[in-house]
Amino acid sequence: MNLQEIINICDGYKNIIISGHIHPDGDCVGACYALALILHKKGINAAVALDDVPDTYDYLKGSNYLLKAIKKDNYVFISLDCGDKERLGANSEIFDKAAVTVNIDHHISNTKFADYNYVSDVSSTCEIIYEILKRSSATKLLDKDICEALYTGLIYDTGAFKHSNTTKRTHEIAGELIKHGIDFTDITNRLFYYRSYKSLKILGTAIKNAEFNTDNKVIFTHLTIDELKEYDCAKKDTESIVQILNEVIESECAIFIIQNGSNTYKVSLRSRNDIDVCKIAKKFGGGGHTKASGCTMSGNITEIKDKLFSAVEEQIKDII
């Protein structure tokens, strides 16, 4: 897919709605903002529909295209960085009412749920957006604001270029974005090193709750709704926890569970070596990447932990 194909899809429609997955992260926010900025440069009225965008991304200029309410008819819906329609959350209803739907993503578990689907197994959706411009010889549209958004997604989903999804091409694209004068050091600090006081306190609770399963080399922790309330935290304040768990040298797999309902939990999984956490997430209705995936599970925390440990154990047996 290239930029001209997207423009052709949008032709004849007054409104374009860009959205991504629930609990948007750096790649989701960066891709949505970047594409909105690009389309506006081409004279296309694009707006972004994302809920609960973390304050971390306030430095990105595309936030001025965020919709407060959606009351539009006959529009194109472009989904970015979202593996399936359900991950759009409440915006899945808006997706269903669209005249035309587009799905652009980098998750290998993507279900190709739109009228037009472009899925590529690269570092991030922001890398795809850059390549879409490149294929159309449209990199001249790049400016500092767009490059900040794209760099945000690139660095977030590669863990500051240390994850195995980082390639030579990823670094080349980062270099091209840096040419536009972005403060890449500040972006890195904002995404990985700066944190609020309350996020520091909830991290301490997560570390206190951590357990290590020596048999399967799995590190696990969880947070309850009451623990989040104690420090006035939301899920967005816990973004870095699973990655910090994954840095424990003795572990092969990291599991972070956060309660989001009376009997429901959001599960984030990471691995560094042979364990394919995407297979584990799929088993429980989720998906993602081989090294980073997630799902939602119901039950009590002990039951959920046991099910996840069993799934890891099954896979370890297959690997051996």
Q: What are phi and psi of 128, to 5 degrees?
A: -60, -45
DSSP of 242-275, one letter per residue? Answer: HHHHTT-TT-SEEEEEEE-SSSEEEEEEEESSS-
Rounded to an integer, what distance in angstroms lies between the CA atom of residue 295 and that of residue 274?
A: 20
Rounded to an integer, what distance in angstroms lies between the CA atom of residue 62 and that of residue 50?
A: 12
Contacts of 104 (CB under 8 A, 6+ apart): 1, 31, 78, 79, 80, 81, 118, 119, 125, 128, 129, 132
Contacts of 229 (CB under 8 A, 6+ apart): none
Q: Where are the chain's structural domains?
A: 3-192, 197-319
Q: Residue 130: which H helix or E strand, with range?
A: helix 125-135
Q: What is the pLDDT of residues 41-54, one digit of tens each?
A: 999 999 999 988 98
Higher pLDDT: 33 or 63? It is: 33
319 band by pLDDT with thresholds 50, 70 and 90: low
Structure tokens at 204: 């301490």
| pLDDT for 71 | 67
| pLDDT for 122 | 96
Q: What is the pLDDT of residues 275-316, one digit of tens each?
A: 999 999 999 999 888 888 999 999 999 999 999 999 998 887
So what's the architecture of 3-192 in CATH?
Alpha-Beta Complex (3.90)
Contacts of 267 (CB under 8 A, 6+ apart): 255, 256, 257, 281, 284, 286, 294, 295, 296, 297, 304, 308
Structure tokens at 76: 């194109």
Q: What is the pLDDT of residues 57-112, one digit of tens each?
A: 999 999 999 987 766 788 999 999 999 999 999 999 999 999 999 999 999 889 99
Rounded to an integer, what distance in angstroms lies between the CA atom of residue 244 and that of residue 160?
A: 13
Rounded to an integer, what distance in angstroms lies between the CA atom of residue 314 and that of residue 124?
A: 29
Bridge partner residues of 16 (DSSP): 46, 76
Rounded to an integer, what distance in angstroms lies between the CA atom of residue 75 and that of residue 101?
A: 9
Fold of 197-319: Diaminopimelate Epimerase; Chain A, domain 1 (3.10.310)
Contact between residue 274 and residue 319 where contact means Cβ atoms under 8 Å apart: yes
Question: What is the pTM assigned to this prediction?
Answer: 0.88
| pLDDT for 94 | 93
Is residue 125 pLDDT above 60, yes or no?
A: yes
Higher pLDDT: 180 or 215? It is: 180
Rounded to an integer, what distance in angstroms lies between the CA atom of residue 292 and that of residue 275?
A: 10
Rounded to an integer, what distance in angstroms lies between the CA atom of residue 24 and that of residue 66?
A: 13
Q: What is the pLDDT of residues 197-207, one digit of tens each?
A: 999 999 999 99
